[in-house]
Amino acid sequence: MKNFKSKLIASVMTTAMIFSSAAAFAPVHAVNGTTTQFKKYLKVEQGATAPTAGFKFTVASGNEKAASDTTRKINAGPTPNDVVVGDATFSSGSSKVDSATGVTADGKQIFVSDVTVDFTKVDFPAAGIYRYLITEQNPTSSYFTKDASTKVLDVYVSRNDQQALVIDGYVLHADPDAEITTGTVLTNKGKNTGFVNEYKSHDLEIVKKATGNQANPDDEFTYTLTINGANPNTTLAVVTTSTDDATKQNIETNTGSVTKTIKLKAGQSYKVVGLNEGASYNVEETDKNHYELKSVEATGADTVNKENASVVKENKTVADDSLTGNVTITFNNEKTGTVPTGIIFAVAPFAVGAFVLAAFIIVKMRRTAKQ
């Protein structure tokens, strides 16, 4: 019996030691605070809507830095491929801010998108500071500028009361070699809010003029505007003095190609605001309303095409294969008529005849009176 008890006690102790050892070497995962965000800013010209766009990012491990008497050790961020960074997305409904830290507006609107960084899949081996580098991938279209700067994300990991590893906080900044003084979060260039891009776009304006002694201010002219290579699924803002309801509607680019019918009267104008750089367009007057098209003129920053030839074709249509600046297109129609003067000669024979007849009657009456 004593031998049985001794063996039982030994077995229980051995089992306890095994579980104790397993617990000591078990991996500990971050259990909360596993996501953070940074901001992506897109600068767009005044009056335009935000274009539909998406921007992607890449994560890499930062360089390890040894500790010193005054600075803390910085570890290279483990398994960067397990860090999930969302896309920055923009659309016509995107939020707009008046100003932002580190962003120069340059007279433009500033739209903002929040980007989430998720560390749920990352196993941090110990408490400490872990450094990651975030860079922006090349935009899919040339009319979006790229923010070529590298953002540095320092992740602070510690143990909680249950001795589990947790993320205490994050600091996004711009210096991959920044040292962190003992007892402080960041001592060099301060915090950074994110990436800044610009949407390169221009305005296309059509102006209607009508002259001549037979011109009527209520006469309406029709134009066909065709755009190709526009940023897809984007709303282009329209500013017009036209009274035609369809003309006043904004343009939806859909797949990037769109045709718009425009109706204008003399003195009215039509402007497409925020058409992306590099788009091509064609404008043609399709209904002259019995006027003669006297001239077509293109003025502004972009009046020639890629071949350096005028965008005005045979004084009739305007076509540009790559928009590089603001342009105003003026169509001048004329309607004149000769004021009829021949009516004087047509009436003259009758007037002369009447005069002769009246004179004959007067003479006849006088002769009769004498007799």
Write the DSSP assignment of 247-297 as a string of letters.
TTSPEE-TTT-EEEEEEEETT-EEEEEEEETT-EEEEEEEE-TT-EEEEEE
Sheet containing 269-276: give its strands across. Answer: 251-252, 235-240, 269-276, 201-211, 327-334, 292-300
∠ CA(59), CA(63), CA(66), 5° rounding?
145
- Give me the pLDDT at residue 187, please: 47
d(Cα 211, Cα 334) in Å, to the nearest integer? 5
pTM for the structure as a whole: 0.79
The alpha helices in the chain, defined as continuous H runs, are 2-25, 343-370
Closest among 278, 268, 277, 270 to 251, alpha carbons compared: 270
The per-residue pLDDT for 369 is 58
Query: What ranges do the domains of the chain cover?
Result: 35-199, 201-334
Q: Name the residue with tokens 């993320």.
A: 167
How confident is the model at residue 31, as a pLDDT?
38
What integer pLDDT is reported at residue 259 of this predicted model? 98
Q: Please give the span between the terminal C-alpha atoms of the chain, in angstroms, as a whole number.
A: 186
For residue 311, what is the enclosing H or E element? none
CA distance 106 to 121: 40
CB atoms within 10 A of CB 164: 13
- Cβ burial, residue 33 (10 Å; 0-12/13-18/19+): middle
Return averaged pLDDT per consecutive 10 residues of the chain, 371 residues in all: 46 40 34 81 96 98 96 97 97 89 88 96 96 97 96 94 91 92 62 86 98 96 98 97 97 97 98 98 96 97 96 94 98 88 54 60 63 55
For the domain made up of 35-199, give the CATH fold: Immunoglobulin-like (2.60.40)
201-334 and 35-199 share a CATH fold: yes
The pLDDT value recorded for residue 188 is 44
What is the tens place of the pLDDT at every residue in 51-97? 999 999 999 999 999 999 999 999 999 999 999 999 999 998 899 99
Residue range 201-334 forms a domain whose CATH class is mainly beta
Do residues 256 and 278 lie in contact, with contact meaning Cβ atoms separated by under 8 Å? no
> Would you say 264 and 223 are in contact if contact means Cβ atoms under 8 Å apart?
yes
Range 242-261 burial, b when 16+ CB lie within 10 A, else e: bebeebeeebebeeeeeebe
